A = this chain, B = another copy of it.
Amino acid sequence: MALLRTREAVVQRFRTVLSRHGLTEQQWRILRALDGHEGLEISLLAEQCRILLPSMTGILRRMEQRGLVRRYANQADGRSIRVRLTETAQALVEEIKPEVVGVYAEIERILGQRKLEQLYALLEELEAGLLEGGRRSGAV
């Protein structure tokens, strides 16, 4: 529950910034992941953004309709599809970036750099432990 509450509070901060630009948190994750790449496969993108493929399908469809991303076939593999940002999206990312950086700065101001790093370390240790243990008691 502590994780839930804290994540909720953090997300809320980002959401107030992003919603001003008509974006959801997930859409921003995708924009940020695509930024600086010539094109990513949907499955890689999904993995980086922690969004499952069925959700990606819908999100990318909406983003494509708004002219934020474009999909194109992968020469080498007829199954996979690549996605990249449009110029509109590039500009949008540049516009939003500083605001998002501000939110990160606020978080660091609240905890201080030392505690923030401590928090990261603990979160990652816990995550790693759970993934590790998952292999034992989970699906082989």
Is B50 a contact of A1 with CB atoms below 8 Å? yes
Interface centre among A2, A126, A134 (most CB of B within 10 A): A126
Which size bracket describes the interface of A in this complex?
35 or more
Q: Does A62 contact B (CB under 8 A)?
A: no
Q: Which of A8-16, A37-45, A65-73, A89-97 participates in binding chain B?
A: A8-16
Q: Does A87 contact B (CB under 8 A)?
A: no
Kindly list chain B residues whose C-beta atoms are within 8 Å of the C-beta of A118.
Answer: 118, 122
CA distance A108 to B56 in the complex (A): 34
Kindly list chain B residues whose C-beta atoms are within 8 Å of the C-beta of A13.
Answer: 130, 134
Is B131 a contact of A9 with CB atoms below 8 Å? yes
